[in-house]
Amino acid sequence: MASILAVDDSASMRKMVSLTLKSAGYDVEEAVDGVDAFAKAQSRQFDCIVTDVNMPNKDGITLIKDLRLLSNYKFIPMLMLTTESGAEKKQEGKAAGATGWIVKPFNPDQLIKILKKVLG
Amino acid sequence: MSIDMAQFHQVFFEECFEGLEAMESGLLNLDTGDIDSEAINVIFRGAHSIKGGSGTFGFSNVADFTHIMETLLDEMRDGRRQVTQAAIDVLLGSVDCLREMITAIQQEQDVDETRVAEQKSALEVELYGSEASVEPSPVNHSIAMETPVAMSEPAPAQQHEHQGYEIAFTPYLTLLQTGNDPVRMFRELAELGELTASVNVQDIPDFYELNPEACYLAWDLKVAGDIAEDEVNEIFDWVKGDCELEIQSLAAKPVKDPVAHIPAIDAETLSNTPESGISEPAAISPPPVTEDAVNKMAPQKAEPEPAKTVTKSSSTIRVDTAKIDTLINMVGELVITQSMLSLVGEHFAMNKESQLKSGLAQLERHTRELQQSVMNIRMLPISFVFSRFPRLVHDISSKLGKKIELKLVGENTEVDKAVVELINDPLVHLIRNSLDHGIEMPADRIAAGKPETGTIELRAYHRGGHIVIEIIDDGRGLNKDKIKAKAIEKGLIDKHSTLTDKQVFELIFLPGFSTAEQLTDISGRGVGMDVVRKNIQELGGNIEITSELDKGTTISIHLPLTLAILDGQSVAVGDEIYIVPLVSIIESINITEKMLNRVAGKGETFRLRNEYIPIIRMHEIFNVQSAKASQLAEGIIVVVEGQGMRCGLFVDDLLGQQQVVIKSLEANYKRVEGISGATILGDGSVALILDIPGLVRLSNR
């Protein structure tokens, strides 16, 4: 069972992502911002990171950048949740090492479909 | 499997209220004018989260509404928009409105649609000026026509049967470092149709040079089946920029003759970005319209294209081949000069001095010419900007019921690409002002003995290293008395101050100034002219107004031809050399003790023609120990102007004027307040280029 770290400062979005993925059979842990996520990612190995971009303390792009520097997260898929207007953010995210993005708003089915793609 | 979204609603509502509270207190604490990006970011994040959540949980009206707020806040955060009291007020009103909306949704009551619509349009006016209300107006044939065409972009692809695609996929070495696994993409392709893949291993280096983390493989993929291009494109969406990708549609069977040319375009659009792919078919496959309509549309149709080229493909540039040829020719000359010089240098004897000198002179000439030719590549005709204005004038004048003719002069004047991109918004604003406030209603014009049709002339020309853009209207002109009265009323000037005409016109550039008695949705929210001036000053230019009552107004914008080179005055402070942008220098003078004026706690000022000008001691601000002059009378005061503020820079000496190539300090070191960049002088030393507005701010602290 693949493990996923879901990072979002918005509780409702975080719950939605986490419950959706749990219902699809993934092992999901939640983090409330980049700092929290970075600590959790170091405490155990996740197979995939799904993170919001705009968050307090540490934003999603910085989180991805920092995680990529860890040897055990070098090739792990990291997806960012972004709004449709965020073409610039997408590029910024890619430069930081993001694998891809999920465009908000999305529904649970789309989320699962994308995660299945990435995790195989 | 289905997830009941309703279970998240309560959490979402609570979060919204929290977010709204944070936004409200953030807005109330926000200072106008000053851009505290972190404070704005907190507000922005509130709007952003509400928007994201409401979109996801199906409250699209909330999402639409917050989207506008978010856009507005985003522009403020980036400094593209000033934080004005008006904007804060609108945002605060929007927070209230949003709170009502969410409460209503929470209690399962109806949302007060009229209130929402009102608040929304207030936001839109704040955001776009009048654009929001202008764009959807029914006169816009071309927009109306274009949207469906652009949206139905995949349609032509589906009109003929694809047999599949041939995909040449060459990942860059770094592909794996973004966590993208080629196998994932192959798996997805295999889901679309029958996939055959052959791998190309020729780029794999020797074992000792092999980096186990790099991707050396390339693939030729063939996927068979009737598949829409979009689906194939989507699979590679995440890796664009991390690989070389060529997707070619396999010989498609055209269904009808008219679309026979489409396969050729497919290949082209696919190798482009998806954005540009959308615009091209739109332009190529015209919808069936009558000839008459085509004729009518022709000038308008031409408009969206250049605009797109400018805004979307900002990283590429279309260059005239003649320019490239000149460049290659120049490089050839340079090589010849170089080989001649090295010949001289190889067996150098004093009798060859004259040869050396002439060689160096040639080198200098060629370098200069080469520099000019390279700069020339970045030059685009100003028509890229001008071409959209006929449409704008047409739409707005018909909306206002005015008759206006727009004349464009000097459209082929060339200007730096960066200037082209950034000058658009200020020009739109100025033209709107002329349309709305400048030109009178037809009846008024006839009564004033003027032709019924007003004229606005948009003119561009070169003058001494600058490009000048003028907007000339024959409207009612600026009413000086009214402007003064307004400025007094707003407390911007003293009641008894005497101002020259020029100073009076300057007033309209002050933040929060608006003369229109009645605010219209075309212009006149008082958030414009100060922003316009700021934008133009950021480009290193300036803006001036001359106006005669009942005769008309002329607005002149002076801009540097390029942003990469700057005309500078070098000044010495001790051993340091600083570059002052020539455009910001008003004069340089020696002052005497008599002119000085010291105010306790307020620093030093000096009196120049009835004006007190603060003095900035450069050696103190930049902590230059070696400064020669410490008494103000010993050095030189360079009077500069930045963002409407004048001040005197106290330096040791003036050195000379020269063109300097601007190097970014941020890219090479870090941002320093009061410094806009650096340059390398003839002797190889580095000189810092002063950022005058920044310096003024710095000294005010």
Q: Do strands B194-200 and B218-224 pair parallel, antiparallel, or not at all (unpaired)?
A: antiparallel
Say whether pLDDT at B153 is over 50.
no
Taking CB atoms and an 8 Å cutoff, what residues of chain A touch B181?
Answer: 75, 77
pLDDT grade for B308, boundaries at 50, 70 and 90: very low
Helices A87-96/A60-68 angle, 10° precision = 20
Q: Say how far residue B192 (Cα) sits from the centre of its chain.
A: 41
Number of structural domains found in chain A: 1
Tell me which of B52-56, B213-217, B373-377, B522-526 is least confident: B522-526
List the domain range (segments joined by +) for residue A16: 3-119
CB pairs under 8 A between A and B: 100
Q: Residue A84: what pLDDT? A: 63
* Average pLDDT, integer, range B675-680: 86
Token reading at A94: 């890619």
- Minimum distance, in Å, between the CA of residue B416 and any CA atom of chain A: 23
- Contact between B45 and A68 using a beta-carbon 8 Å cutoff: no
Complex ipTM, two decimals? Answer: 0.85
Query: Which phi and psi angles does B466 have, rounded to 5°?
Result: -125, 160
Which of A52, A94, A106 faces B241 most closely, judged by CB atoms?
A: A94
Residues in chain A, overall count = 120
Mean of pLDDT values over B149-163 = 46
- pLDDT tens digits, one per residue of B56-93: 888 888 888 888 888 888 888 877 877 887 888 888 88
Contacts of A10 in chain B (CB under 8 A): 15, 49, 52-53
Chain A residues touching B53 at Cβ < 8 A: 10, 12-13
Distance CA B74, CA B45 (A): 10
CB contact under 8 A, A16 and B44: no
Residue B690's CB: how many other CB atoms inside 10 A? 28
Cβ neighbours for B567, distance < 8 A, ≥ 6 positions apart = B465, B560, B581, B582, B583, B657, B658, B659
Q: How many residues does chain B have?
A: 701
Scanning the structure block, which residue is given the tokens 């990072």? A7
Dihedral of CA atoms B496, B500, B501, B507 in degrees, nearest 10, equals -60
pLDDT tens-digit readout, B12-36: 888 888 888 888 888 877 766 666 7
Contact B49 A78 (CB under 8 A): no
Confidence at residue A63, expressed as pLDDT on a 0 to 100 scale: 94
Mean pLDDT over B453-463 rounds to: 88
Average pLDDT over residues B188-193: 85
**Contact between residue B175 and residue B243 where contact means Cβ atoms under 8 Å apart:** yes
Percent of chain B at pLDDT > 90 equals 4
Read off the pLDDT band of A65 (50, 70, 90): very high
Across all residues in chain B, what is the average pLDDT? 77
Asked whether residue B109 carries a pLDDT value surpassing 70, the answer given is yes
A33 to chain B, closest Cα gap in Å: 13
Half-sphere exposure of B57 (CA within 13 A, CB side): 30
Mean pLDDT of B147-156: 39
Average pLDDT, chain A: 88
Q: What is the pLDDT of residue B162?
A: 61
Look up residue B202 and give its amino acid.
Answer: Q
- Percent of chain B beyond pLDDT 70? 81
Contact yes or no for A13 and B49 at CB 8 A: yes
Name residues whose C-beta falls within 8 Å of residue B686's C-beta, 6 or more positions apart in sequence. Answer: B678, B679, B680
CA atoms of B607 and B587, how far apart (whole Å) = 14
Q: In what order do the strands lie in the sheet with B243-249?
A: B194-200, B218-224, B164-171, B243-249
Which CATH number is A28's domain given?
A: 3.40.50.2300
Mutation target among B56, B189, B273, B315 for the A interface, most CBs of A within 10 A? B56
Partner B, chain A 60-89, Cβ-Cβ below 8 Å: 68, 74-78, 81, 83, 85
Give tens-digit pLDDT for B196-255.
888 888 888 887 778 888 888 888 888 888 888 888 888 888 888 788 888 888 765 444
| Residues of B noted as catalytic | 48, 70, 433
The percent helix, strand, coil of chain B (3-state, each to 5) is 50, 20, 30
**Is B659:B566 a contact under the CB 8 Å cutoff?**
yes
A61 and A29 Cβ atoms separated by less than 8 Å: no
Tokens of A10: 């918005």
pLDDT band at residue B138 using 50, 70 and 90 as cut-offs:
very low
| B614 has pLDDT over 90 | no
Q: How far apart are CA B459 and CA A68, in angstroms?
A: 53
pLDDT score of B325: 87
pLDDT of amino acid B611 = 81
Of A12, A52, A77, nearest to B11 by CB-CB distance is A12
The whole-number average pLDDT for the span B418-434 is 84
For residue B401, pLDDT beyond 50 = yes
Could you give the count of Cα atoms lying within 13 Å of B442 in the half-sphere of its Cβ? 10
Asked if pLDDT for residue B511 goes beyond 80, the answer is: no
pLDDT bin (cut points 50, 70, 90) of residue B322 is confident
Give the C-alpha separation, B478 to B481, whole Å. 9
Scanning every residue of chain B, which has its alpha carbon at the shortest distance from the alpha carbon of A48?
A: B179
- pLDDT value of residue A31: 93
* Mean pLDDT value of segment B330-356: 87
pLDDT surpasses 50 at B477: yes
Q: How crowded is the C-beta side of B486, counted as CA atoms within 13 Å? A: 21
A-chain residues within 8 Å CB-CB of B63? 105
Residues of B within 8 A of A67 (CB-CB) are none
**A96-120 average pLDDT score:** 86
Q: Using CB atoms, which residue from A10, A100, A118 is nearest to B52?
A: A10
Orientation of helix B85-106 relative to helix B60-77, angle to 10°: 160
Cα separations (Å) of B414 from B423, B561, B614? 13, 8, 39
Rg (CA), chain B: 31
Taking alpha carbons only, the member of B155, B672, B139, B86 closest to residue B398 is B139
Taking the CA of residue A41 and the nearest CA in chain B, the distance in Å comes to 16
Which of B9, B52, B178 minimises the CB distance to A99?
Answer: B178
More confident residue, A36 or B191: A36
pLDDT at B665: 79
- CA nearest B304: which of B539, B142, B534, B107? B142
Which residue does chain A place closest to B238, by CA atoms?
A: A100
Q: pLDDT at position B143, please?
A: 35
Closest to B559 (Cα-Cα) out of B642, B461, B655, B701: B461
Q: Between residues 19 and 48 of chain A, which touch chain B (CB distance below 8 Å)?
A: 19-20, 23-24
Residue B606 has pLDDT above 90, yes or no: no
pLDDT of B163 above 60: yes
Interface test with B, best of A12, A46, A110 (most B CBs within 10 A): A12
* pLDDT on residue B316: 65
Using the beta-carbon criterion (under 8 Å), do A99 and B238 form an inter-chain contact? yes
**pLDDT tens digits for range B256-300:** 444 434 444 444 444 444 444 344 444 344 444 444 444 444 444
Q: Nearest-CA residue of chain A relative to B18?
A: A10
Please compute the mean of the pLDDT values over residues B115-125 and round it to a whole number. Answer: 85
- Tell me which residues of chain B have a C-beta less than 8 Å from any C-beta of chain A: 1-3, 5, 7-9, 11-12, 14-15, 42, 44-45, 48-49, 51-53, 55-57, 63, 71, 176-181, 183-184, 187-188, 213, 237-238, 241-242
Q: Which of A5-14, B245-254, B334-343, B667-676 is predicted least confidently?
A: B245-254
Q: Do A105 and B15 touch (CB under 8 A)?
A: no
In Å, how far is A82's CA from the nearest CA of chain B?
9
Confidence of residue B315 (pLDDT cuts 50, 70, 90): low
Average pLDDT over residues B373-401: 81
> Which of A11, A74, A106 has the CB atom closest to B177's CB atom?
A74
Mean pLDDT of B567-574: 89
Q: What is the mean pLDDT of residues B361-387?
A: 84
Q: Is A103 on the interface with B (CB under 8 A)?
A: no
pLDDT for res B464: 64
Q: Give the least confident one: A35-49, B256-270, B344-358.
A: B256-270
Test A11 with B180 for CB contact under 8 angstroms. Answer: no
pLDDT for residue A57 = 87
